[in-house]
Amino acid sequence: MASPSRSALFRRFFEQLGEVSELAARTFRAIFGKPREGEIFFQQLEEIGLRTLPVVALTAAFGGLVFGLQSYYGFHKYVGQGTEAYGGPIIAVGLVRELIPILVGLMVAGRVGSSMAAEIGTMRITEQIDALFTLGADSVRYLVAPRTAASILMLPCLTLFGDFIGIVCAHFYNVALMGVNGTVYLRNTLMYLDLWDVLSGLVKAAVFGALIAIIGCWQGLETEGGAEGVGRATTRAVVFASIAILITNFFMSKFLPANL
Amino acid sequence: MIQFRDLHKSFGPKPVLSGLELEIRTGETLVVIGQSGSGKSVLLKLLIGILDPDRGSIVIDGTDVTSMDRETRQKTARKFGMLFQAAALFDSLSVGENVAFGLKRRTDLDPAAIGKIVADCLEKVGLRGIEDLMPHELSGGMRKRVGLARAIAYRPEIILYDEPSTGLDPIRADAINDLILLLQKEMGVTSIVITHDLVSAYKVADRMAMLYDGRIVAVGTPDEIRQSPDPVVQQFLRGRADGPIKNW
């Protein structure tokens, strides 16, 4: 089979960008409009928030430990013995501004974005989306808006939780395992870690939340074929959301102010 | 009255409907027969507004619905109830919630009144007291009947049946046919039934239409269709592989 030409691929890319942008616009209109699907919103809060807590705790814990480890060795090797406690604020800022929002975003994309694509994709191929229309429910208002709103709200909560776990684990590694001076470590961390550092990570997380939900739902709504189509939509949802998170993160890191 | 005028619909390069013309009279049961993949289900989806035609118009009671925006179109869909081929019950909702779904969105009734209508509709389809079951606990026939209860709950004027007997054994298929006749008699609705099951078609139809090659090639009473001189109709009715229909 002949592969599509470069211009066809280019056109397809912009068509898809147009589709997802239109879906995003309709979703935000539905989130701020009425009627709202409160019951589904609360179900999704539980699905995205509560049920993702264990995986976020685990990834944040090991993210914090490995950051703590690298910081310890960096200071120990290049700055000198006894300076390891100065790594505290570097670890904390790195975690809350970059590592934890990205880890949480990728974990939620894998766990929740894929399940949104699979659930909505299955609804698409079993005509449940068509049934929604015939029964007076708009699929964007009923399916996409509550998932997106819940995702935007829960990602920052999960990130804040992850920040805490990551910082505690980095502290544990340095102070409890490597014998770094705990008082200096903590004082330095509190002195140099700004509220804006934490907030900028939470802003990123909210944007990642919107990306994960809209891309997951978009792939679900676009599903064609049978089980194979659902599988393809699920994979694409995770891949597209992960790429979108990494690209958006770079630009947000670049353009969000370093301080307020 | 519903009129399809010069209706065209393609998916990619493949034309499905090519200038289809058809009239459906108020209160009648019209059965559309045709091969699998001939565009019968597409016809229903165009009528209800799930799909938009490429060209042509659909006129319902004198109003051209194809020129309406999506929101107005969805309000017009209030006239329709649809039984989907595999019932399309919402997996995450119980039977009761499925049947109540349209009522909650299309009426201002309080929960008690909705509960009563749900119970009545389930009783009408012979499934009293199963409100709390989940769709995965139902057999194929039960799913279809729940789908039918959901379609009639808000008392639509027009009921669309997409392959109502497909996937059912002959006894269950006949029970669904009886339900179609019962609803027609009790509610006086206009019914459009899409099927390739001729036993069902002959039983429920006031008139039949055959869809072939994107057009309606024959319309008439079941007897007129049986006696149609059209070789395409005769090949389909007799279920023969040899004849003018080649694209199977």
Quick check: B161 contacting A, CB < 8 Å?
A: no
Residues A206-223 pLDDT 10s: 999 999 999 999 999 999
CA–CA gap between residue B226 and residue B198 (Å, rounded): 10
**Placement of tokens 């990834």 in the chain:** A59
Task: Say if B33 falls within a structural domain.
Answer: yes
CATH code for position B156: 3.40.50.300
Task: Say if B246 falls within a structural domain.
Answer: no
Task: Say if B16 falls within a structural domain.
Answer: yes
CB < 8 Å from A in window 82-111 of B? 82, 84-86, 88-91, 101-102, 105-106
- Please tell me which residue of chain A has the smallest CA distance to B51: A130
Identify the H or E element spanning A90: helix A87-94
State the pairing for strand pair B190-195/B80-83: unpaired
Task: Say if B104 falls within a structural domain.
Answer: yes
CA–CA gap between residue A39 and residue A150 (Å, rounded): 11
Distance in Å from the first CA to the final CA of chain A: 55
Using pLDDT thresholds of 50, 70 and 90, give the confidence band for residue B184: confident
- Whether A28 and A206 have beta carbons less than 8 Å apart is answered as no
Q: Supply angle C-alpha B77, B81, B84, rounded to 5.
A: 115
Task: Say if B243 falls within a structural domain.
Answer: no
Q: Which domain holds residue B70?
A: 2-238
Strand partners, B81: B159
Contact A131 B86 (CB under 8 A): no
Contact B84 A127 (CB under 8 A): yes
Nearest-neighbour CA in chain B from A202: distance (Å):
32
Number of domains, chain B: 1
Task: Say if B227 falls within a structural domain.
Answer: yes
The amino acid sitting at B206 is: D
Percent with pLDDT over 90 in chain A = 85
Task: Say if B245 falls within a structural domain.
Answer: no
Q: With a cut of 0.95, is the ipTM above it?
A: no
> pLDDT of chain A along its 260 residues, tens only?
556 788 888 888 899 999 999 999 999 999 998 878 888 999 999 999 999 999 999 999 999 999 999 999 999 999 888 899 899 999 999 999 999 999 999 999 999 999 999 999 999 999 999 999 999 888 999 999 999 999 999 999 999 999 999 999 999 999 999 999 999 999 999 999 999 999 999 999 999 999 999 999 999 999 998 899 999 999 999 999 999 999 999 999 999 887 77
Q: Give phi and psi for A182, each to the nearest 5.
A: -65, -40
Residues B217-232 pLDDT 10s: 999 999 999 998 898 8
Using pLDDT thresholds of 50, 70 and 90, give the confidence band for residue B248: low
CA–CA gap between residue A213 and residue A148 (Å, rounded): 5
Closest listed residue to residue A120, CA positions, set B225, B108, B90, B69: B90
Provide, as residue numbers in chain B, all residues whose Cβ is less than 8 Å from the Cβ of A122.
91
User: At A232, is the secondary structure helix, strand, or coil?
Assistant: helix
Residues A80-101 pLDDT 10s: 888 998 999 999 999 999 999 9
pLDDT at B88 over 60: yes
- Please tell me which residue of chain A has the smallest CA distance to B107: A136
Nearest-neighbour CA in chain B from A137: distance (Å):
7
Return the pLDDT at A22: 94
- Whether A203 and A248 have beta carbons less than 8 Å apart is answered as no
Task: Say if B51 falls within a structural domain.
Answer: yes
Return the pLDDT at A69: 95
- Whether A220 and A232 have beta carbons less than 8 Å apart is answered as no
Identify the H or E element spanning B15: strand B14-24
Contact B102 A136 (CB under 8 A): yes
- Whether A171 and A61 have beta carbons less than 8 Å apart is answered as no
